[in-house]
Amino acid sequence: MEDKNLRFETEVIHSGYVSNEHQGSLVPPLYQTSTFTFSTAEQGEKRFSGQEDGYIYSRLGNPTVKILEERLAVLEKGDAALAFSSGMAAVSATLVALTKTGDHILCSQGVYGCTFGFLQILKEKYGIEHDFSSMDSEEMVEKAILPNTACIYIETPINPTMKLVDLGMIAKIANEKGIPVVVDNTFCSPYLQTPLTYGCDVVIHSATKYICGHGDVLAGIVVGKKEWIQKVSRTTQKDIGGIISPFDAWLLLRGLKTLPVRIDRHCENTDKIFHFLRNHPKIETVHYPGDVDHPDYQIMKKQMKKPGGLISFSIVGTKETAQRFMNELNLIKIAVSLGDAETLIQHPATMTHAVVPEIERSKMGITENLLRLSVGLEAWEDIIEDLDQSLEKL
Ligand SMILES: Cc1ncc(COP(=O)(O)O)c(C=O)c1O
């Protein structure tokens, strides 16, 4: 679409797609094909040499996938995007593209468990070191950056403790030193937070979560500068090959259309649940960036449109108490994903962060009685009633 001033709610439905170019089909067509035919051998030669634009083979590009990529680039306010077969395919392709043996990656205090696992692989097999920092102040970040720091990798809010990192502050320091800042924006989606507008360089999503929104696709997204995205597309993505299937891209285009409506509802429900949990005698602590007493509340106000649909809390008691509480829930499902219509609960210490050694887990604030709730789209009264009846049984 030509008009650059459309609002997010409009872009999420229209950008990247011109129906006249597709027989007037209202919905983007699904190009479920592995390869594309050339009219002549010479045309094939020209496509491969780059003399002529056009599709060659779906690992190198596919029209349905391209619509998704263009739409996400617009939503994240970036130049270009690439879609992957999972969030981890996006994370690994990005880190491989940005680093080489001998480099160092500076990470936020907490990262998703499999990202932690991939950082270990980089360290053990390829000599790429990493450190974690709570990134609480400029001095702390300046001190944590080493001469060989090749990128800064941030999750905010941090999974699952909901601590925030000040994106503008990090980008200012990193930009001065020419170090790219990568942000995993999974928890927010571009509706709540656009890290590139704060000076960060690359945004990653596990599109499996809010971008899909329906729990039926695994996918990843990377957004950044055109030149860099093109390079990743021709190297790391093409040669490692973790590309999205056209059908999954089509499902994501379908899910995306309702993103703002869904997130507004996720946020509304989460706020109600926060007020319920905060006042409950069997709840020890609640971590929610919308809490005015949350240490990073001001950062939330600065860089997030709303506090989001995730909340974590610790139950008074032990790991066994937390597990008993989960087992007594009826409506809320025990599962490790987020951003779906269904409310999901998980136990980070034994599930998403089980691979993280206990000492690192405790530095990240992941205790044995901590639970994470991905608040769904059900009636908030029903979610609270389910939490309440299970707490009563403890
Ligand atoms: C913050 C975050 N980043 C990345 C990932 C990995 O995404 P995927 O499961 O789509 O590979 C997840 C998965 O839960 C996540 O929560």
Burial of residue 37 (CB within 10 Å: 0-12, 13-18, 19+) is: exposed
Provide the pLDDT for residue 364: 85
Which atom of ligand 1 approaches the CA of 155 most closely? Answer: 1
Q: Compute, in angstroms, the gap from residue 339 CA to the centroid of ligand 1.
A: 11
Provide the pLDDT for residue 3: 56
Q: Compute, in angstroms, the gap from residue 87 CA to the centroid of ligand 1.
A: 5
Catalytic residues: 59, 112, 184, 209
SS3 string of 102-163? Answer: CCEEEEECCCCHHHHHHHHHHHHHHCCEEEEECCCCHHHHHHHCCCCEEEEEEECCCCCCCC
Query: Is the distance from CB of 312 to CB of 162 less than 8 angstroms?
Result: yes
Q: What is the crossing angle of helices 63-75 and 246-256, to 10°?
A: 40
Residues 6+ positions from 348 with CB-CB distance below 8 Å: 159, 160, 312, 366, 370, 371, 372
Q: Compute, in angstroms, the gap from residue 4 CA to the centroid of ligand 1.
A: 31
Tell me the Ramachandran region of residue 97: left when phi exceeds 0, alpha when psi lies from -120 to 50, beta otherwise: alpha
Please give the distance of CA 124 from its chain centroid, rounded to a whole number: 25
Which atom of ligand 1 approaches the CA of 111 most closely? Answer: 1
Provide the pLDDT for residue 4: 65
Q: Compute, in angstroms, the gap from residue 338 CA to the centroid of ligand 1.
A: 9
Instruction: Count CA within 13 A, CB hemisphere, residue 219.
Output: 30
Q: pLDDT tens digits, the chain, 394 residues: what are they?
A: 455 689 999 999 999 999 999 999 999 999 999 999 999 999 999 999 999 999 999 999 999 999 999 999 999 999 999 999 999 999 999 999 999 999 999 999 999 999 999 999 999 999 999 999 999 999 999 999 999 999 999 999 998 889 999 999 999 999 999 999 999 999 999 999 999 999 999 999 999 999 999 999 999 999 999 999 999 999 999 999 999 999 999 999 999 999 999 999 999 999 999 999 999 999 999 999 999 999 999 999 999 999 999 999 999 999 999 999 999 999 999 999 999 999 999 999 999 999 889 998 988 899 999 999 999 999 999 999 999 999 999 9
Q: Is 208 in the pocket of ligand 1 (CB under 6 A)?
A: yes
Q: Is 94 in the pocket of ligand 1 (CB under 6 A)?
A: no
Query: Is the distance from CB of 94 to CB of 232 less than 8 angstroms?
Result: yes
Mutate to test the pocket of ligand 1, among 109, 188, 206, 244 (most ligand atoms within 8 A of CB): 206
Q: What is the dihedral of CA 234, 236, 242, 244, to 10 degrees?
A: -40
Q: Is 112 in the pocket of ligand 1 (CB under 6 A)?
A: yes
Q: Compute, in angstroms, the gap from residue 44 CA to the centroid of ligand 1.
A: 38
Residues 6+ positions from 25 with CB-CB distance below 8 Å: 19
Residue nearest to atom 2 of ligand 1 (CA): 112
Q: Compute, in angstroms, the gap from residue 112 CA to the centroid of ligand 1.
A: 7
Which atom of ligand 1 approaches the CA of 209 most closely? Answer: 10
Provide the pLDDT for residue 360: 87
Q: Compute how many other C-beta atoms are within 10 angstroms of the C-beta atom of residue 290.
A: 19
Q: Is 108 in the pocket of ligand 1 (CB under 6 A)?
A: no
Which atom of ligand 1 approaches the CA of 88 most closely? Answer: 11
Which atom of ligand 1 approaches the CA of 218 most closely? Answer: 10
- DSSP, collapsed to helix, strand or coil, labels residue 72 as helix
Q: Is 390 in the pocket of ligand 1 (CB under 6 A)?
A: no
Instruction: Count CA within 13 A, CB hemisphere, residue 359.
Output: 1
Q: Is 69 in the pocket of ligand 1 (CB under 6 A)?
A: no
- 38: phi then psi, degrees, rounded to nearest 5: -105, 145
Instruction: Give the whole-angstrom CA distance, residue 181 versus residue 172.
Output: 10
Q: Is 206 in the pocket of ligand 1 (CB under 6 A)?
A: yes
Residue nearest to atom 13 of ligand 1 (CA): 206
